[in-house]
Amino acid sequence: MKKVLMPLPTYGFDPTEAAIPWLLLTAHGYEVAFATPNGYSSLADIRMLRGEQLGIWKWLLQARSDAVTAYYQMSNSDNFCAPLKYTDIQMNEYDALLLPGGHDKGVREYLESALLQSIVVDFFVAKKPVAAICHGVVLAARSINPATGKSVLHPYKTTALLQSQELAAYHLTKLWLQDYYLTYPVTVEAAVKAALSDPAHFLKGPAPLWRDTAAHLNRGFTVTDRNYLSARWPGDAYRFSMDFIQLLAVSF
């Protein structure tokens, strides 16, 4: 059985971006292993799960019911309940890497982990499949290959959370949630573009008006460049998952 590594922060990852890929990967016969900073089970962003304090925008911003159901299934799985510590990750034990996102400030320990960044570099150098969605692309962008002094994403095309999406969520909720939707003062799109050899290699895709589903993969958007797959937001999660499964199939 092929093994996919999914590192997570202690708290704050996006439930859709982790659970939908987990659900579809396991359904297609892949094993998904988890890793956290301290080796204890991670917890998704509660606000995304429950819709708390999202006000009139709850219907738009909260995780959809299918993703919430998948999250609780994932959170009760054996591998999720017994994650590795980041320090115990051995790249050679895994066939691929999946990097979910999340915008709660809790994801900073994941995005800023020098250890995780070095592991991301190892996967790219080994040319193993790597998939990143939303803020997960920031982790990849910050992963500097010591052989080149540049981000592993420098020669790739990619997408990630669009600045228009990030700022729209921030402005819709800032009166009561302050900067909850801004993980950093610099947007994801700006941070990722700065790591690329050409800002034009950041692909925005069609307007993200609707979330995709298993029956409507065309609503999602991804970018595949060699061994690397990227997507923008939870609304791309089904397309992202199925494209990753396809990438894995041709890589082995």
Q: What is the pLDDT of residues 81-99, one digit of tens each?
A: 999 999 999 999 999 999 9
Average pLDDT of the chain to the nearest whole number: 97
Q: Could you tell me what percent of the chain has a pLDDT over 70? A: 100
pLDDT grade for 195, boundaries at 50, 70 and 90:
very high
pLDDT confidence of residue 4: 98
pLDDT grade for 238, boundaries at 50, 70 and 90:
very high
pLDDT exceeds 80 at position 242: yes
127 exposed, middle or buried (CB, 10 Å; 0-12, 13-18, 19+)?
Answer: exposed
Mean pLDDT of the 213-236 span: 98
pLDDT exceeds 80 at position 14: yes
CA gap 189, 10 in Å, rounded:
24
Residue closest to 212 by CA, chosen among 74, 57, 72, 20: 20
According to DSSP, the residues that pair with 96 across neighbouring strands are: 4
Tokens standing for 185? 């003062």
| Model pLDDT for residues 151-194, shown as the tens digit of each residue | 999 999 999 999 999 999 999 999 999 999 999 999 999 999 99
pLDDT exceeds 90 at position 103: yes
| Model pLDDT for residues 34-81, shown as the tens digit of each residue | 999 999 999 999 999 999 999 999 999 999 999 999 999 999 999 999
Tokens standing for 27? 């359904």
Contact 35, 83 (CB under 8 A): yes
pLDDT exceeds 90 at position 130: yes
pLDDT exceeds 90 at position 251: no
pLDDT exceeds 80 at position 252: no
| Entry pTM | 0.97
Q: What string of H, E and C letters represents the secondary structure of 33-98? A: EEEECCCCCCEECHHHHHCCCCHHHHHHHCCCHHHHHHHHHHHCCHHHHCCEEHHHCCHHHCCEEE
For residue 21, which phi and psi values (nearest 5 degrees)? -60, -45
The gap from C-alpha 39 to its chain's centroid, in whole angstroms, comes to 19
